[in-house]
Amino acid sequence: MISKSIAVNNDGHLTIGGADCVDLAERYGTPLYVFDENLIRSTIAEFRESIKKHYGGNGRVLYASKAFSCKEMYRICRSEGIGADVVSAGEIYTAVSAGFDPSLLVFHGNNKAYDELLYAVKVGVGRIVVDNFSELKNLESIAESLGKEVNIILRIKPGIDVHTHDYIKTGQIDCKFGFALENGEAMNAALECLEHKGVNLKGFHCHIGSQIFTTEPFCDAAKIMIQFAADFRDKSGVTVTEIDLGGGFGVKYVESDDQQPFDSFMATAADALKAECDRLHFPISFVYIEPGRSIVGPAGITLYKVGAIKHIENVRTFVSVDGGMSDNPRYALYNAEYTIEIANKATEPKSFVATVAGKCCESGDLLQEHVKIQQPDVGDTLAVLTTGAYCYSMASNYNRIPRAAVVFVKDKESRVVINRETYEDIIKNDV
C-alpha cells in the first residue's frame, strides 16, 4: 500500500492505523478526514532523530502547521518535543490555546499585518521570519512600544528553481516570498536589519518549494545559505547563528512517486552545510527544518460515500461523492494525483476507470480524473489516500457545505479531534 498506515482486513475492508474505514464512515459520517496518530508521531520522531544525528543538539524540527493545524496537532508536537512553523495569528492563537510553548514558534508570512506582529511579539513567539522592509519597520516600532527585543530570521530566496508545480515553488527570484540574492536585495536587507533598534538578527531562512523528491536542491540551498552568511559576516562583522532550511520533502501520492527516506534529505544537506562551513571557516550554526506535508500527508485519508454514478457513453463515468473541492481543492488547484480505493471492496481488482467528482456547483470540482478504482456502486465508502496535508487546512465552505470532521486513530481506537461543522456554524457570523 501507498502508506504504512493503510492495510486491508479479513473482511476485505481498507483499514487505517488498524481501524476499519467502513466502520469509521458509519460511525462518524462522511466526508471524514481520518489520521493515523502513530504514523504522525513516528514521522516526527524520524525527523527529530535525523536532526539529532546530523547536528547534535544544534537543530530543531519545526512542524509546518499550515499543512494541518488544529489544537490536537500542536499538542502532539509539544509532546514529541518539536517546535512549529506558523503563518498567521490564527495559527499562533490555535497553538497557544493548545498550551504550546510560544518560544518554539517561528512566524512566517509575506504580509503579516501589524496587529499579527504585535500579537506574536506580545505572546512571545520565538522567531519572526522577516519577509520585507515594511515588516522590519513595524517590528522596530513594536519592540519599542512593548519594551521588548524581537528575535528575527531573514527570509532569503536562494535562486533555486526546483522541479515541482509552479504554485508551490518558492526558491526562485520571481516569487513573492523573501529577498533575492541575485540582485543584492538580500544583502541590503540583512545589513538593514542591523540598523533597526530592538530587532536581533539571528539568522537566515529559505524554503525552496514543496513536494520535492531529489536531495540536490536541499544541498544547493544549504551551501548557498552558508555562503551568504559568510559574505554577510565579511561585510558586517556579524556572525549569525541560525540557518533555517525550510521544508518541502516529497511524499507518495501514487505508486510512481519516488518518496525518499527523509533522513537522506537531512544527510545530504548536513554534509553540504558542514563542508561549506569548513571551507569558509564559518561556525556551524543552529539548524531548523520545517517539514509539513511529510509529517501529516501520508498519515491522513478522506472517506466519502458514493452517490450518483453517471456513465456518458464514449466519454467517461462520473462517480460523485458527498464532498469534493470543499474538503480537498488540490486536484482543482494543482491537478494533484491521488490513489483512490473503495474501502468496502479493497481486495477487488481496480478495473474501473472513473472520474471522481465532488458535489459542489462547479464543473472543476473533481477529486481525480481517469483513475482506476474497484467497480463502484451507490452507497460504497470511497477513500482518497494521502490527504493528511493541505486538505483540511485548505477546506472551504463553498456552497455552504459544512467542513468535515477530523478523527484520529491511535492503536485502533478512534476519537474526534475536530468536530464536523453544523449548519448553525455556517450561519453564525451572518447578521
Query: Taking the complex as a whole, how short is the minimal distance between the CB of residue 226 and ligand LLP, in angstroms?
Result: 19
Q: Does 368 bind ligand LLP (CB under 6 A)?
A: no
CB nearer ligand LLP, residue 136 or residue 389: 389
Q: Find out whether the peptide bond into 31 is cis, omega within 30 degrees of 0.
A: yes
293 sits near ligand LLP (criterion: CB under 6 A): yes
Contact between 158 and ligand LLP (CB under 6 A)?
no
Q: Provide the minimum distance between the beta carbon of 64 and ligand LLP in the complex, in angstroms, as a whole number.
A: 3
- In the complex, minimum distance from the CB of residue 380 to ligand LLP, in angstroms, rounded to a whole number: 26
127 part of the interface to ligand LLP, by CB under 6 A: no
Q: Between 355 and 386, name the residue whose CB sits nearer to ligand LLP.
A: 386
Q: For ligand LLP, which residue of 159, 292, 298, 388 counts as binding (CB under 6 A)?
A: 292
Q: Total residues at the site for ligand LLP (CB under 6 A)?
A: 22
Among 85, 91, 135, 276, binds ligand LLP (CB under 6 A): 85
Q: Which stretch binds ligand LLP (CB under 6 A): 243-251, 265-273, 397-405, 421-429?
A: 243-251
3-state class of 252 per DSSP? coil
**Of the candidate residues 25, 51, 61, 64, the single one contacting ligand LLP (CB under 6 A):** 64
Binds ligand LLP (CB under 6 A): choice among 59, 102, 217, 247: 247
Q: Which of 77, 206, 360, 361 is catalytic?
A: 361
The reply on whether position 207 binds ligand LLP by CB under 6 A is: yes
The verdict on whether 361 is a catalytic residue reads: yes
By CB under 6 A, tell whether 36 contacts ligand LLP: no
Q: Is residue 210 within the footprint of ligand LLP (CB under 6 A)?
A: yes
67 binds ligand LLP (CB under 6 A): yes
Binding piece for ligand LLP, criterion CB under 6 A, among 10-18, 216-224, 290-298, 301-309: 290-298
Q: By CB under 6 A, tell whether 330 contacts ligand LLP.
A: yes
Residues that bind ligand LLP (CB under 6 A): 64, 66-67, 85, 108, 168, 207, 210-211, 246-249, 290-294, 330, 334, 389-390
Catalytic residues: 361
